[in-house]
Structure 1
Amino acid sequence: MAYLKDFRERIQNNDYPGFLKIWEEYCYGDQPDGLEMVAVLESVKDSDLAYHFGKHVERILPLWRELQDIKLAHDVLRLVFDLQTTNSEELADLATEHLKAKYENDPLLFEKLRLVGLRNRETFQSAIRNFELLSHMKPKNFVFHTGGWGTGEITEVSLVREELTLEFEFVIGPKQFSFEKAFKVLTPLGSEHFFAKRFGNPDLLEKEARENSNEVIRMLLKDLGPKTAFEIKEELCDLVVPAEDWNRWWQTTRSKLKKDTKIECPKELKLPFKLLEKEVPHEVALHKALETKPNVDATIQMIYTFLRDFPETLKDVEFKASLEARFNHLLQEEPLGDHQKLQVFFLLEDLRSPNIEKQIQSLMQAVHNTPEIIRKINLIGFQKRALSFIRSLKKDWLDIFLDLFFTVDSNLLRDFLLIELLPSEELLKKKLSTLLIHPLSFPEVFLWYFQKIIEKKSTLPFATPDGKNRFFEGLFILLDFLEKKPQHRDLTKKIISLITADRYKLVRDILSHSSVQEVKEYLLLSTKCSSLTDHDIKILHSLGAVAHPSIGKMRKDKETSSSEELIWSTQEGFQKTQARIQEIATIETVSNAKEIEVARAHGDLRENAEFKAALEKRERLQSELKFLSDQIHRARILTPNDVIIDEVNVGCVVRCTDSKGEHLRYTLLGPWDADPENRILSFQSKFAQAMKGKTVGAS
């Protein structure tokens, strides 16, 4: 396929003259390649060059006649007639002869030739494809609608009326199509095609998917082309495999696909699965991957994964020897770190190479910064093996394990370390105490261990009621800290989910053995966590009141006093504040950002007065925006129903007499509407607060 890349490049660039020049050269060749012809013609058929190319496509016919493969020759000729626009007598004769030879036993041959335009010979583009569709038009056969109606089953065909009736996958009720319309939008599907099976007999396909999932995936990839995991799910989930079973089914199937020698599995989630033309043995696939000369870490990862998935390949003595040779080459020729050498030794140990265990022991005894070596190893299996050697070889293994306990990234490895450290309970408890003192130092470890101790039958250190209470208090402190760190967004979500799961079951369990003072502390800490919604806070307080009714009374008193924190406002004052917030956020902040960039461009930021002034302005704007945003969240628009006329309160007009006998009149509104010159006072002012609650005649 030497020409295919050049053809596709011209098509992509919409270079018609360049494409035509290569086409002429290609047609004069003497070594026909049927697969390449099909690929080229399919590429141009789907491009903008198709119409103009139609009058030149028949130049391929001399080379086409040299093809020996009958099926490929038919596929090429069908594409030639899909593209041709000349409708010449020579082409009509060729199509007629070809179809007569292929369908000589068809009793409706001449009627079909008429229907595809080869009788009057005026227009017969796509004649071969249309003839095939006519031959396929029989009840219970399947077609695919290219306009989005999905798979259709033919229920009735009438040559007299030149129409057929179908039922489609995505359209309700039977639909009638003229042959002319069918030629434009329908494609025949064989009974073994994936779409035909999915629409015609989904129960049978589901049974096949459960019994032999690899074959179903092969069929899907063969009929629909390469597909990503998401696209495979779109084709199968709920249509073939029930949605509730999908995750389990796909997990099992995914592991089987890795071992399928005819399916190429992607290395990244977004890449597609591909069906290979020929089966490729796993050993060959590995050697091809290694020929790209990956770095040492990638090589170790690749071979480790391969041996884990395909241990049976080590029965091949020649393949095993080739791996040993590669590892020995790495040890002798590559500048390896101690952690890399150790992993290569482990791989050689898996290959049962002689004297490897002694080399591993020598290396482990020689290294000084053992924890760092463990942290540099990326494979958990090898980390565990290294830790086993450390325990048997080093006297200070407990110190090493305790050092690693908080600093390794994997929870699986941390589980392993926890099991090894449990017999030394006092040392472990002392180490865990640092989590309570400094929960912010190791947030992932804190959450991991907290989930361990809240399990029902946990006997770990701090799994007592008092220990759980202390960790629960630390959880709120940690949540307040993580909310301010964007890099810990996922961890924040996990904590919120843990707190709110199963109708706040965790909270109910903790509160059941907490004192009043402890519950008060939890509730106070929870109010500092912005990730908890007002509804969450309300639920927490309600649960606290259930556990200790005295807290409920305190909350009612607090709610009464908190009403004083409301910011009352008229509709005009509220809209004015909203407008100011909008102005800061969309105009002044953007303008200030430009000022900062302009000032930054002047260089030498240490002595750049404009830059410092712009930063100070940004700080002022951010402070004002935060202040107004906080206030508007506490604002309430004053309505006639809110005004109490029996005593001095917000919204009232107060008439009074001063010590000199002068009559005064004040209106009490919110701070946004205050206008002292017009005797409109903020209800939060000291004078207004002094008058609050006064009745007629009071002084």
Structure 2
Amino acid sequence: MESEYNSATQTSVNENSSKFSTQFSPGTYCYHNSFGFGCVQSVDSEQGCIIIKFETQTKPRSMDAGFCAKILTILPKEHIIVEARTNAEDIQKLAKDDPIALVIRVLQSFPTHQASSLKVKEVLNQALSNFLAPNEFKTWWNGVQKKIKSEARIDCSKDSPSNYTLLETPVATDQKLIREFFDSTTLEQKLAKAAELMKLNLAPAELQPVVEHLNQMLKEATLSPVQQLKACWMRDDLSGSNAAADEQAIIQNKHALLLNILDELSKAEQGRFLSSIKSVRSDWEDTLINFCTQSQNLNSIDSSFKFLSHNDALSALIKTLKEDLKERTLSKAFVIWLINHNSQYASILSPLLNQQLLTYIFQLINNESVLQKRNCHMDLAELLYKDKSFIETILSTLPSSEIAGHLLQLILANQSLSYAKKCSFITRFIRKFPELENTLKDRDTHRKEDKLLVSQASLDRLQAEYKKLVEEDIPNNKAAIAKARELGDLSENSEYKMAREDQTVLQARKVSLERSLNNCRVIKPEDIPSDKVSVGTQVVLKSKAGNTTYTIAGAWDGQPEKNILSYQTPFAQALLDKAVGDTVTLPNETTATVQSIKPYSI
């Protein structure tokens, strides 16, 4: 801070001790790098001391004159920091009504009338510290910086926009923006300045240099397709004309990149882009249907769907979506969009809201857990858990509780769902079909009598996890709780809360592992038959899609991405006890024939 004041028009202290009494006479204002603003109360020439009262100190400080000469900066009475104390009411009024005037006052205090934004901010922060709390000053300064950008009397340097220079002759806002447009080094910066120029409603002739510059950039062919499109739009908006040739060329010649372009545009820009596609391409409907089914960007899906809806062109999209659902190729992104918008477009989406969709969603949930492709905004299980109407909407379309029971089995067998989510989903099913509660009771009774069939490898894995849990993780957590408790005040102790949350998770996992380990039986090779599908067999199924090999594995060995299925899954359950030549209807509603069966080492 001290260096900032030294560079302003402030009197440096003469180190000559014979003059210190004159320089530091009572009433002189000064600044100390650590103590801040102060005022000289008295001078003791005989002792060579100066008595100074600093704002940050409760009592006056006696300081050696030679020391003061080196570290103190004298502030003239007209300095803004001084005036903020001697004329507080006026300075406070300026801060509220005309903050730019304060910035100009600070810039005038520097020899070259130029300073970095950091220096200006620090001076003003010190000046206004008696009026504004730190968070209030931060908000105030952010607003001032925005005003500086459009202030005709202050110039932001081309080389460093954070440098402020007070101009002798004010520059008109439009001229300032045009110069900043040409000084900008990236297209994004240029487009931002051009957008500000648009708001000034200038005559086309005044904007012609900017238009010509954008035209030249388009001719140089160094821009990406998205940049080309945005440059075309800005050029046409500034000129008030529609030179559509460039935009048409992008849409016609970059067909393979149209989806990538759409994904990179803002929501407002997407609407304009889709309108342009409709006017340029005869296959615009197919193009937008492809956007809906292939994009991983929820905004792109939403914009394309709404555009098709507004143009009465949804029938072909719904047909395509039904086919994708039947083939199990419906994109996860569209499923997420559908869940989010099922109430808004209930009548339009009704052909998709059925048992088949919910079955597919629970398969996706299971797969995304296995493949570890879950993230905060694409977590299907979490989205379905928080949504209050989607499952209920589909359940209302089911003709019987038997079909609902099949869907419920999918939930119960899904290994990626947490206990809380399973309970939530089960409750929704029972609310619609109360008779399913008896089915659950029968299932629980049956499960108590049966042991889980597992491989030796998976048993070893869980036993190792349990050992680590009870010998390392839980003791470490207990120590962490004790240490956090020592920090005091448990109501405000985040470390303690986190440790207790970890404890809950660890104890729940311990109970779960104990239940599993006490209720399992290792599959022995001699128990695996070769004449029927059972746990530990590999089966080849023949369907219209061709031959597919599946392995029926133990309860903890499922790897769906490799067609290795836990015997508890609905798919595997449909195959159990089938022999070669048998025909089976699978949960995905396809029919297949068992071609071969053989034991498989699990």
* Bin of the TM-score, shorter chain as denominator length: 0.5 to 0.7
SS at match of 1:433: helix
Counterpart in the other structure of 1:499: 384
Provide closer, same or farther for how the CA distance between residues 582 and 324 of structure 1 changes in structure 2, counting only shifts above 3 A: same
User: 1:95 aligned to 2:95?
Assistant: no
Q: In structure 1, how many angstroms separate the alpha carbons of the residues matched to 2:225 and 2:315?
A: 33
- Kindly, what percent of the aligned residue pairs are identical? 13
More deviation, 545-554/336-345: 336-345
Q: Deviation of residue 256 (structure 1)?
A: 10
Cα shift readout 1:392-422 (whole Å, capped 9, x = no counterpart): 3432222222223333454444333223323
Counterpart in the other structure of 1:633: 512
Counterpart in the other structure of 2:315: 426
Counterpart in the other structure of 2:477: none
> Do 2:191 and 2:231's aligned partners in 1 also have CA atoms closer than 8 Å?
no
Cα shift readout 1:339-374 (whole Å, capped 9, x = no counterpart): 65444332221122667135545x368x34525245
Q: Counterparts of 1:61-80 in structure 2 under 5 Å?
A: 72-74=9-11, 76-77=12-13
Match of 1:402 among 276, 285, 289: 289
> Do 1:544 and 1:552's aligned partners in 2 also have CA atoms closer than 8 Å?
no
Match of 1:559 among 437, 444, 450: 444
Cα shift readout 1:14-51 (whole Å, capped 9, x = no counterpart): xxxxxxxxxxxxxxxxxxxxx9x943869xxxxxxxxx
Counterpart in the other structure of 2:550: none
Q: What amino acid does structure 2 have at the position aligned with 1:178?
A: K
Q: In structure 2, how many angstroms separate the alpha carbons of the residues matched to 1:181 and 1:481?
A: 74
User: 1:447 aligned to 2:447?
Assistant: no
Match of 1:546 among 431, 447, 465: 431
Match of 1:356 among 243, 248, 251: 243
Counterpart in the other structure of 1:415: 302
Counterpart in the other structure of 2:60: 179
Provide closer, same or farther for how the CA distance between residues 387 and 539 of structure 1 changes in structure 2, counting only shifts above 3 A: closer
Q: In structure 1, how many angstroms separate the alpha carbons of the residues matched to 2:271 and 2:324?
A: 24
Counterpart in the other structure of 1:303: 190
SS at match of 1:315: coil
Counterpart in the other structure of 1:684: none
Counterpart in the other structure of 2:76: none
User: 1:475 aligned to 2:361?
Assistant: yes
SS at match of 2:44: coil
Aligned residues: 419
Match of 2:48 among 118, 122, 140: 122
User: 1:39 aligned to 2:20?
Assistant: no
**What's the C-alpha RMSD, in Å, of the aligned pairs?**
5.8
Of Structure 1 and Structure 2, which has the larger fraction of its residues in strand?
A: 2
Provide closer, same or farther for how the CA distance between residues 119 and 333 of structure 1 changes in structure 2, counting only shifts above 3 A: same
Q: Which has the larger radius of gyration?
A: 1
Q: Deviation of residue 427 (structure 1)?
A: 0.9
Q: What amino acid does structure 1 have at the position aligned with 2:4?
A: A
Q: Counterparts of 1:25-174 in structure 2 under 5 Å?
A: 38-39=3-4, 72-74=9-11, 76-77=12-13, 89-96=17-24, 99=26, 117-124=43-50, 130=52, 133=54
TM-score, normalising length: structure 2: 0.53
> Do 1:411 and 1:448's aligned partners in 2 also have CA atoms closer than 8 Å?
yes
Cα shift readout 1:523-580 (whole Å, capped 9, x = no counterpart): 333345555421221232233223222211122233334445799xxxxx9x996684
Q: In structure 1, how many angstroms separate the alpha carbons of the residues matched to 2:144 and 2:390?
A: 36
User: 1:526 aligned to 2:411?
Assistant: yes
Cα shift readout 1:130-149 (whole Å, capped 9, x = no counterpart): 35x4xxxxxxxxx568xxxx
TM-score, normalising length: structure 1: 0.47
Q: In structure 2, how many angstroms separate the alpha carbons of the residues matched to 1:41 and 1:470?
A: 75
> Do 1:261 and 1:282's aligned partners in 2 also have CA atoms closer than 8 Å?
no
Q: In structure 1, how many angstroms separate the alpha carbons of the residues matched to 2:401 and 2:332?
A: 27
Q: In structure 2, how many angstroms separate the alpha carbons of the residues matched to 1:576 and 1:407?
A: 43
> Do 1:214 and 1:257's aligned partners in 2 also have CA atoms closer than 8 Å?
no
Q: Counterparts of 1:127-526 in structure 2 under 5 Å?
A: 130=52, 133=54, 177-180=58-61, 235-236=134-135, 257=146, 261=150, 276=164, 278=166, 281=173, 284=176, 287-288=179-180, 290-291=182-183, 293-294=185-186, 299=187, 301-313=188-200, 315=202, 320-335=207-222, 341-352=228-239, 356-357=243-244, 360-361=247-248, 363=249, 367-373=252-258, 375-376=260-261, 378-380=264-266, 381-408=268-295, 410-422=297-309, 423-437=312-326, 442-455=331-344, 458-463=345-350, 467=353, 469-493=355-379, 495-501=380-386, 504-514=388-398, 515-526=400-411
Q: Deviation of residue 323 (structure 1)?
A: 1.0
> Do 1:476 and 1:526's aligned partners in 2 also have CA atoms closer than 8 Å?
yes
> Do 2:355 and 2:407's aligned partners in 1 also have CA atoms closer than 8 Å?
no
Cα shift readout 1:460-517 (whole Å, capped 9, x = no counterpart): 53236x7255433333222222234455412344x34433337x55444544554423
Q: Deviation of residue 330 (structure 1)?
A: 1.6
SS at match of 2:435: helix
Q: Deviation of residue 327 (structure 1)?
A: 1.7
Counterpart in the other structure of 1:676: none
> Do 1:283 and 1:319's aligned partners in 2 also have CA atoms closer than 8 Å?
no
Provide closer, same or farther for how the CA distance between residues 332 and 454 of structure 1 changes in structure 2, counting only shifts above 3 A: closer
Provide closer, same or farther for how the CA distance between residues 226 and 379 of structure 1 changes in structure 2, counting only shifts above 3 A: farther
Counterpart in the other structure of 2:504: none
SS at match of 1:467: coil
> Do 2:225 and 2:261's aligned partners in 1 also have CA atoms closer than 8 Å?
no
> Do 1:436 and 1:471's aligned partners in 2 also have CA atoms closer than 8 Å?
yes
Provide closer, same or farther for how the CA distance between residues 288 and 117 of structure 1 changes in structure 2, counting only shifts above 3 A: same
Tell me, which stretches of 5 or more residues in structure 1 are unaligned? 1-34, 43-70, 104-111, 134-142, 146-176, 228-233, 242-248, 265-272, 568-572, 587-628, 643-648, 650-699
Q: In structure 2, how many angstroms separate the alpha carbons of the residues matched to 1:440 and 1:216?
A: 63
Cα shift readout 1:588-608 (whole Å, capped 9, x = no counterpart): xxxxxxxxxxxxxxxxxxxxx
Q: In structure 2, how many angstroms separate the alpha carbons of the residues matched to 1:254 and 1:554?
A: 64
User: 1:535 aligned to 2:420?
Assistant: yes
Q: In structure 1, how many angstroms separate the alpha carbons of the residues matched to 2:405 and 2:200?
A: 63
> Do 2:362 and 2:410's aligned partners in 1 also have CA atoms closer than 8 Å?
yes
Q: Counterparts of 1:659-698 in structure 2 under 5 Å?
A: none
Counterpart in the other structure of 2:568: none
Q: What amino acid does structure 2 have at the position aligned with 1:320?
A: L
> Do 1:454 and 1:468's aligned partners in 2 also have CA atoms closer than 8 Å?
no
Q: What amino acid does structure 1 have at the position aligned with 2:10?
A: A
Q: What amino acid does structure 1 have at the position aligned with 2:325?
A: L
Q: In structure 2, how many angstroms separate the alpha carbons of the residues matched to 1:323 and 1:536?
A: 57
Provide closer, same or farther for how the CA distance between residues 213 and 486 of structure 1 changes in structure 2, counting only shifts above 3 A: farther
Q: In structure 2, how many angstroms separate the alpha carbons of the residues matched to 1:419 and 1:213?
A: 45
Q: In structure 1, how many angstroms separate the alpha carbons of the residues matched to 2:10 and 2:396?
A: 80
Counterpart in the other structure of 2:597: none
Q: In structure 1, how many angstroms separate the alpha carbons of the residues matched to 2:428 and 2:102?
A: 52
Q: In structure 2, how many angstroms separate the alpha carbons of the residues matched to 1:470 and 1:89?
A: 93
> Do 2:384 and 2:390's aligned partners in 1 also have CA atoms closer than 8 Å?
yes
Q: What amino acid does structure 2 have at the position aligned with 1:443?
A: K
